[in-house]
């Protein structure tokens, strides 16, 4: 007997050229490098240039992921972009990315699950691939979050940045008992919390784009429990324990949340990939950015067992276990 599994073929990422340090941030709002580093672990963030759109960030990350996979856009038949900051209200940023990649075949659409977007998008791609709806997918998390920040609100503007990460996955027929590719995922949403992290604008409400608002302490309070909940679910589904993990690649929002989740789950720091210091919270881009760094520097290798997770607006939260 055989089954179809979703295998990772390549990763790529892109951060805009413009770097804004905590020191520079302190010239705009009443904050300090010391406060930001101590409370979040963030040291700097990247900002998209004027005219540089989410689809442009997607394109650069996607080209790198395709190159790493040894493929071209012609090989892809599904594009999913996870973003909260699309180029336009419609069409989907994925459709704009598709044409920028020179493709007109296959299907392309966006997923909106804020910071959990990449885990939701990857799980969607996995489902499409395993059911035969597509053969090779490009899954991208990309944000120009700087465009929806209130640059006078120190409680939010210091926390976020722009960037993109992309993954190429392929459906492969394996033996029934083979353990490779995406092994299991767990996704959750609880809309009762939406006002704790939201944007105060929208197409059918205000007709404006709006700005990010967050009850930081409330988000923090729920984060570790929600993250642990989906990770434990994925471990139970696969019969694994945290000791089996080679790498833990969490959503890069706040080093204190990452440390809290690691402590609760018993995952040591040396198995945890942390990149939040370099790019702040890039929402849907954060997990593929961190994965990309750890693959490029040789930490994540073929055969490794990798747990990814994210939590964010909605609230949404999710995790996937991948045999790389």
- Between residue 126 and residue 155, which ones bind ligand UT7 under the rule CB under 6 A? 154-155
Using the rule CB under 6 A, which residue among 35, 109, 194, 324 binds ligand UT7? Answer: 35
Q: Does 258 bind ligand UT7 (CB under 6 A)?
A: no
Q: Does 27 bind ligand UT7 (CB under 6 A)?
A: no
16 vs 312, which CB is nearer to ligand UT7? 312
Alpha carbon distance 283, 286 (integer Å)? 6
Q: Decide if 162 contacts 204 (C-beta within 8 A).
A: no
Strands 2-14 and 18-21: unpaired
- Between residue 90 and residue 129, which ones bind ligand UT7 under the rule CB under 6 A? 115
Count residues contacting ligand UT7 (CB under 6 A)?
Answer: 19
CB of 282 to ligand UT7, least distance (A): 10
In whole angstroms, how far apart are CA 219 and each of 192, 248, 253? 13, 21, 11
Is 251 an annotated catalytic residue?
yes
Q: Which of 46, 193, 251, 279 is catalytic?
A: 251
2 vs 38, which CB is nearer to ligand UT7? 38
DSSP letter for each residue of 278-313: HH-B-GGGHHHHHHHHHHHTTSS-TT-EEEEEEEET
Using the rule CB under 6 A, which residue among 47, 158, 267, 287 binds ligand UT7? Answer: 158
Q: Which of 46, 115, 157, 193 is catalytic?
A: 115
CA 135 from chain center: how many Å?
22
Alpha carbon distance 137, 318 (integer Å)? 20
Alpha carbon distance 57, 90 (integer Å)? 18
Is 115 an annotated catalytic residue?
yes
In whole angstroms, how far apart are CA 122 and each of 66, 138, 149, 259, 279? 16, 9, 26, 24, 22
The residue range among 56-64, 213-221, 234-242, 289-297 that interacts with ligand UT7, by the rule CB under 6 A, is 213-221
91 vs 216, which CB is nearer to ligand UT7? 216
Phi, psi of 268 (to 5 degrees): -70, 155
- Between residue 296 and residue 315, which ones bind ligand UT7 under the rule CB under 6 A? 311-312
Q: Nearest residue by C-beta to ligand UT7?
A: 216
CB of 94 to ligand UT7, least distance (A): 22
Alpha carbon distance 120, 140 (integer Å)? 11
152 vs 205, which CB is nearer to ligand UT7? 152
- In the complex, the residues that contact ligand UT7 under the rule CB under 6 A are 31, 35, 39-40, 115, 154-155, 158, 216-217, 219-220, 251, 253-254, 257, 281, 311-312
- Residues with a catalytic annotation lie at 115, 251, 281
């Amino acid at each position: 007997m055989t089954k179809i599994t979703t295998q990772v073929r390549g990763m790529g990422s892109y951060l805009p050229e413009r770097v804004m340090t905590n020191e520079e941030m302190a010239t705009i709002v009443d904050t300090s490098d010391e406060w930001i580093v101590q409370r979040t672990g963030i040291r700097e963030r990247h900002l998209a240039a004027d005219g540089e759109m989410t689809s442009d960030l997607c394109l650069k990350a996607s080209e790198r992921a395709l190159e790493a996979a040894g493929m071209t856009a012609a090989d892809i038949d599904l594009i999913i972009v996870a973003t909260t900051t699309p180029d336009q209200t419609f069409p989907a940023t994925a459709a704009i990315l598709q044409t920028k990649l020179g493709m007109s075949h296959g299907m392309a659409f966006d997923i909106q699950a804020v910071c959990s977007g990449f885990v939701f998008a990857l799980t969607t791609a996995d489902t499409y691939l395993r059911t035969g709806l597509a053969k090779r997918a490009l899954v991208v998390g990309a944000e120009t979050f700087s465009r929806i920040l209130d640059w006078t609100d120190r409680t939010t503007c210091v926390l976020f940045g722009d960037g993109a990460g992309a993954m190429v996955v392929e459906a492969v027929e394996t033996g029934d008992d083979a353990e490779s590719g995406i092994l299991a995922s767990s996704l959750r949403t609880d809309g009762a919390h939406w006002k704790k992290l939201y944007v105060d604008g929208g197409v059918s409400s205000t007709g404006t784009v709006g700005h990010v608002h967050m009850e930081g302490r409330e988000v923090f309070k729920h984060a570790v429990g929600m993250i642990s909940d989906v990770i434990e679910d994925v471990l139970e589904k696969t019969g694994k324990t945290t000791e089996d993990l080679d790498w833990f690649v969490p959503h890069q929002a706040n080093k204190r949340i990452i440390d809290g989740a690691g402590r609760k789950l018993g995952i040591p720091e040396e198995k945890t990939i942390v990149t939040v210091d370099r790019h702040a919270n890039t929402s849907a881009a954060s997990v593929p950015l961190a994965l990309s760094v750890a693959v490029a520097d040789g930490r994540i290798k073929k055969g490794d067992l990798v747990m990814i997770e994210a939590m964010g607006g909605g609230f949404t939260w999710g995790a996937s276990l991948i045999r790389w």
